[in-house]
Structure formats: C-alpha cells, structure tokens
C-alpha cells in the first residue's frame, strides 16, 4: 500500500502541500499514514502474537513434563523418606524452635498417718507444645510412685506420689522425669484448655477432727466442696488435686476424682483425710483431665440424662 501523495495542484495550477493542511477534527496525514501502515501489517502482528503464545505454551509444557517426570523418578522417593524420618520420635522438633525442658520445684514430702506423700510443682514453659511423660521419686536408690503425667502448653500443676511407704522419718527425695513426648498444639492453647476445663469449684470447707475423740482412733479430717462441669464436654474421669495450706506453708495434699462427669452436672465431694495436721487457712483445688486424649471424653447420647 503506497503512502498518500501530499503534493497536489489547485485549479490555478499552483502546487499545494497537503501536509500543511489542518483538519478541523484533528486527523493529520501522518496519522493517516500510520493507520495505512498498521492495516497493511496487521496480519504480521497477529501471526507474531500467535507465535509468541505458542512459544510460551511449549516452554511451559516442557517445564511441566520435566517437573512431573523428576517427581516420579526422584521426588516421590525423597518425600517418602522425609515423612518416615519426621515420623520418628522427636525428629520433627529438630526443625522447629528448641523446646525448653519441664521445670520442677524442689520435691517435698509430708507424713500422712503412717505413710508419706511426695509432691512437686511442675511447669511446662513452652507456649505451643504439650507434654506426655512418666515421673517418679527417688529415696536413696528406691523408686517410688512411677506414674504417667501430662502438661498443656504453659501449664503449671502439682504431680505427686501419695500414700507411699518408706523407711525412716528423714528424707531427701529426688524427682525424675522420663520418656517425655512432645506434640504441637495449633490455635490458642489457653482458649482450648479454658473451654474444656471450665469446671467451677464452690463451697470449699475443711473440717478438722472433733475435739475429745477417742485417743486410740486415727483422727479423721473432712474436706467438702462442690464441682460443676460448665464445659460442653462429658468426661469419664476428672481429677482434683487438693492442697491445704497453713501459716507455715503446705500442710496436706490429696487427690479426689469424679467419675462420669457430664456437661452441666454438679457434684458434691466429701473427702476423708486421716491424720492430725496443723491449722488450715487456705484450700487450693486444681481440676485436671487429659483433654488431649480422645479416650477421656464420653460420647453424647440422645437422651436427657447424658446431655445436660
């Protein structure tokens, strides 16, 4: 397509330069020439654009085929090896922030009648991981009260070996933790614990032995309280760790349990506590249930007795 001829002659035979012509609509000869050139080469633009898209498609398909083939030949095997490695105990923790060890207070012992109660205060300083473990006390070379324990992220609670027999009245007990297993808890651990252990304690009362009782009989103390399950969960067992304090500190520890504790239910607890003890000025009661274990929960049934 030829360029527009810009030289013309008028009726008087004078030559006119059309490039100097000013159209009232703003369309110049330069714009008309560009439009003619574009119309002439438009097919070339179209073919070039299709060629570019085809090249991109070929490169993408080639890369996808290469990646998929590489995964089939090597990637699947490497993924399987990684999963097996992480499945081994505590290997996953190597790729995360190092966990702090459980912290225990100095072990203490109280005499209860003709037996002994050993206890410590245990803390999990980790904010996202809960711990399962075994613990026991050592008196000399004697292992006492091996039990299973658990701690939620950031939780602090007592663990104890109650009613143990041991020789002598002077002890220097040691506390040991074994076989700790960690698991990460996503979400808000505190909210998770608060929703499931919404257990209200009320009407706490400690009754010491009555004065003037028979001297040959072991004095019996009574601890009474009520517990209400305000959570939406039914539990097979909820434990309550009880600490009695006097002016000089802890004077007694014990544990009570409520079986089949359903949502909305209120229970009265009357615990008999043998042995004389100093004056009690404070009662501390901590509920405890392994809320991370699915076996701790009772299934809801479709009747009014089990769903409250």
Tokens representing residue 85 in the block: 């490695």
CATH architecture for the domain at 100-189: Sandwich (2.60)
CA atoms of 256 and 162, how far apart (whole Å): 12
Check whether 4 has a pLDDT greater than 80. Answer: no
Half-sphere exposure of 232 (CA within 13 A, CB side): 2
Cβ proximity of 292 and 247 under 8 Å: no
CA atoms of 241 and 123, how far apart (whole Å): 15
> What pTM was estimated for this model as a whole?
0.65
- pLDDT tens for 195-248 read 999 999 999 999 988 765 566 677 888 899 999 999 999 999 999 999 999 998
- Name the residue ranges covered by the structural domains of the chain: 1-88, 100-189, 197-308
Element (H, E) at 139: strand 129-139
Q: Computed over its alpha carbons, how large is the radius of gyration of the chain? A: 41
- pLDDT tens for 277-287 read 888 999 999 99
Backbone angles phi, psi at 34, to 5 degrees: -65, -40
Residues 6+ apart with CB under 8 A from 89: 181
Give the class (CATH, top level) of 197-308: mainly beta
The bridge status of strand 108-112 relative to strand 266-274 is unpaired
Lowest pLDDT segment from 126-140, 146-160, 193-207, 214-228: 214-228
What's the pLDDT at 302?
Answer: 53
In sequence order, the β-bridge partners of residue 7 are: 17
Check whether 304 has a pLDDT greater than 60. Answer: no
């Amino acid at each position: 397509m030829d360029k527009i001829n810009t030289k013309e002659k008028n009726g008087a035979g004078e030559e006119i330069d059309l490039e100097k012509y000013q159209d009232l609509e703003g369309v110049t000869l330069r714009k008309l020439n560009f439009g003619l050139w574009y119309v002439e080469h438009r097919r070339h633009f179209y073919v070039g654009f299709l060629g570019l898209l085809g090249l991109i498609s070929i490169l993408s398909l080639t890369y996808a085929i290469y990646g998929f083939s590489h995964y089939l030949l090597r990637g699947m095997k490497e993924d399987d090896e990684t999963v097996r490695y992480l499945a081994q105990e505590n290997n996953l923790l190597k790729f995360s922030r190092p966990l702090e060890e459980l912290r225990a207070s100095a072990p203490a012992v109280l005499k209860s009648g003709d037996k002994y109660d050993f206890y410590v205060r245990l803390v999990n300083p980790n904010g996202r991981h809960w711990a399962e473990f075994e613990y026991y006390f050592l008196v000399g070379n004697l292992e006492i009260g091996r039990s299973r324990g658990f701690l939620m992220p950031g939780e602090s609670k007592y663990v104890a070996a109650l009613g143990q027999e041991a020789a002598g009245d002077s002890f220097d007990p040691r506390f040991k933790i074994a076989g700790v297993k960690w698991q990460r808890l996503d979400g808000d651990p505190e909210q998770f614990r608060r929703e499931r252990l919404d257990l209200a304690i009320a009407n706490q009362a400690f009754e010491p032995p009555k004065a003037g009782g028979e001297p040959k009989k072991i004095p019996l103390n009574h601890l009474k309280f009520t517990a209400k399950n305000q959570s939406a969960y039914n539990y097979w067992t909820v434990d309550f760790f009880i600490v009695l304090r006097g002016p000089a500190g802890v004077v007694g520890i014990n544990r009570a349990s409520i079986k089949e504790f359903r949502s909305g239910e209120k229970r009265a607890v009357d615990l008999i506590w043998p042995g004389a003890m100093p004056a009690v000025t404070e009662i501390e009661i901590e509920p405890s249930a392994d809320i991370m274990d699915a076996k701790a929960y009772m299934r809801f049934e479709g009747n009014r007795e089990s769903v409250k």
